[in-house]
Amino acid sequence: MARNIEVKARIDGLSDVRAGLAALPCHGEHHLCQTDTFFHVVRGRLKLRQFADGTGELIFYERPDEAGPKLSQYGRIPCHDAVPLLRALSTAVGVRGVIRKRRQVVLIGNTRIHLDEVEGLGSFLELEVVLRDSDTVAAGQRTAAELLQILGIPESQLVSGAYLDLLEQGQVP
């Protein structure tokens, strides 16, 4: 499975974060609209991510539900037509919930930075430090912590779990 170090923070407004990113060597910026349908599973999380063009990817991941930079192990399977897969999984295992978001993605080195506007939840920053086989978890956690510090994100804004968990817990703005 692929690995990354992931951290998520609730942000009052994304303009300050965008200003901080402007001073960094970012590249590869793009904007996406995504619908993530989460399914009932015995362990980890399983979601089908659908894109506006009808394509998608099935994503399984496991990570601890704790605030701060943490190891996430995941697998992704692309699909050209997400609707039949959505129907099959919905029938087979049941839908746990749906998250809709607008996402701006920028890259800094081996880190994907997501600026998310999540329907019903508000604005978030998510960092994913992609780890190669030779990279240590500690090095990835240091990279994430350094970026949080550069962007001025205090520890008090870090959240645990997935967006779906926040919605289920009623943690709306």
CATH code (residue 157)? 2.40.320.10
Query: Is pLDDT of 25 > 70?
Result: yes
What pLDDT, on the 0 to 100 scale, is given for residue 30? 94
Residue 30 lies in a domain: yes
What pLDDT, on the 0 to 100 scale, is given for residue 170? 83
Number of H helices, E strands in the chain: 4, 9
Residue 140 lies in a domain: yes
Nearest to 63 by CA among 172, 166, 161, 170: 161
Query: Is pLDDT of 15 > 90?
Result: no
Domain count, the chain: 1
Residue 40 lies in a domain: yes
Residue 171 lies in a domain: no
Residue 105 lies in a domain: yes
Say if residues 121 and 167 touch (Cβ distance below 8 Å). yes
What pLDDT, on the 0 to 100 scale, is given for residue 173? 66
Domain limits at 48? 2-164
Say if residues 99 and 119 touch (Cβ distance below 8 Å). yes
Angle of CA points 43, 47, 51, to nearest 5°:
165
pTM over 0.85: yes
What pLDDT, on the 0 to 100 scale, is given for residue 171? 73
Residue 98 lies in a domain: yes
Residue 13: pLDDT band (50, 70, 90) is confident
Please give the Cα distance from 46 to 10 (Å, whole number): 23
Residue 66 lies in a domain: yes
- Over the stretch 65-83, which tens digit does the pLDDT of each residue have? 999 999 999 999 999 999 9
Query: Is pLDDT of 47 > 90?
Result: yes
Residue 97 lies in a domain: yes
Residue 19: pLDDT band (50, 70, 90) is confident
